[in-house]
């Protein structure tokens, strides 16, 4: 094979990074700046993501300004109040600290920018554009973990309000709102698994062979 060939030891390191990546909740972050060189490596990783038709349909807003974080946090509080009512039968919801917006040094709002012209590979499944942005986010997330940085993805947000706060173009779609910082601890298991909020699914529950008529 021509081109870069990876060795088993390198594969195992990726396995380790994937295994130890966590979705962080809010209590764990510490007050420590993220060097610019580290931020640059996170952004580089995102920009190397796959994209349908090499369209690179992503835009990133790097937020360090506390006043903007406070506005986003106010937006979160409203949505979290709605969610509390939805989960009123699960009192443990109130014990979860679901955001780290203004205690993390960097927030990144990630947007999908639709194209005004047809994109190769996107003509039958239009959602491929926004999916490309998600793939870029996962590159960034794994790189953050390799930098021993944690990410809290805040999704209890009103997309239109966030777009207003950030003066985003009307056609852009908010894909992710990431709060990034150093933490006291990376837990062995996902925090929602530890909290017994959801159980890990068995492989056999989600894998089929050749068609849905043939589970394992």
Residue ranges in 161-200 that form contacts with its own copies under rule CB under 8 A: 165-169, 174-176, 182-188, 190, 192-193, 197-198, 200
Q: Could you tell me the smallest distance in angstroms from the CB atom of residue 145 to its own copies?
A: 7
Count of residues interacting with its own copies (CB under 8 A): 109
Q: Could you tell me the smallest distance in angstroms from the CB atom of residue 90 to its own copies?
A: 9
Site string for its own copies, 87-126 (x = CB under 8 A): x-----x--x-x--------------x----x-xxxxxx-
Answer for the pair 133, 111: CB distance below 8 angstroms, yes or no.
Answer: yes
Answer for the pair 25, 97: CB distance below 8 angstroms, yes or no.
Answer: yes
Q: Could you tell me the smallest distance in angstroms from the CB atom of residue 16 to its own copies?
A: 7
Q: How many CB atoms lie within 10 A of CB 189?
A: 10
What is d(CA 78, CA 20) in angstroms, rounded to the nearest whole number?
Answer: 32
Residues 14-73 that bind its own copies (CB under 8 A): 14-21, 23, 41, 43-45, 47-50, 52-56, 58-65, 68
What is d(CA 146, CA 172) in angstroms, rounded to the nearest whole number?
Answer: 30
Tokens at 18, concatenated: 């994937």
List the one residue from 142, 178, 179, 180 that touches its own copies (CB under 8 A). 142
Q: What is the three-class DSSP state of 151?
A: strand
Contacts of 94 (CB under 8 A, 6+ apart): 84
List the one residue from 97, 102, 114, 138 that touches its own copies (CB under 8 A). 138
């Amino acid at each position: 094979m021509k081109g870069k060939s990876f060795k088993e030891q390198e594969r195992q390191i990726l396995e380790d990074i994937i295994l130890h990546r966590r979705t962080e909740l809010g209590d764990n972050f510490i007050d420590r700046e993220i060097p610019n060189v580290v931020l640059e490596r996170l952004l580089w990783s995102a920009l190397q993501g796959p994209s349908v038709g090499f369209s690179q349909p992503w835009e990133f807003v790097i937020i360090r300004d506390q006043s903007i974080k406070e506005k986003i946090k106010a937006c979160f509080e409203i949505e979290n109040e709605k969610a509390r009512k939805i989960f009123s039968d699960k009192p443990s919801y109130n014990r979860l600290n679901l955001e780290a917006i203004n205690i993390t040094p960097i927030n990144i709002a990630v947007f999908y920018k639709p194209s005004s012209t047809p994109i190769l590979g996107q003509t039958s499944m239009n959602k491929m554009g926004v999916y490309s942005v998600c793939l870029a986010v996962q590159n960034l997330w794994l790189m953050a973990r390799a930098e021993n940085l944690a990410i809290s993805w805040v999704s209890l947000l009103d997309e239109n309000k966030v777009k207003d706060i950030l003066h985003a173009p009307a056609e852009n779609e908010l894909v992710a709102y990431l709060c990034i910082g150093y933490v006291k601890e990376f837990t062995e298991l996902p925090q929602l698994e530890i909290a017994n909020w959801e159980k890990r699914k068995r492989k056999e529950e989600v894998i089929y062979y050749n068609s849905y008529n043939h589970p394992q």
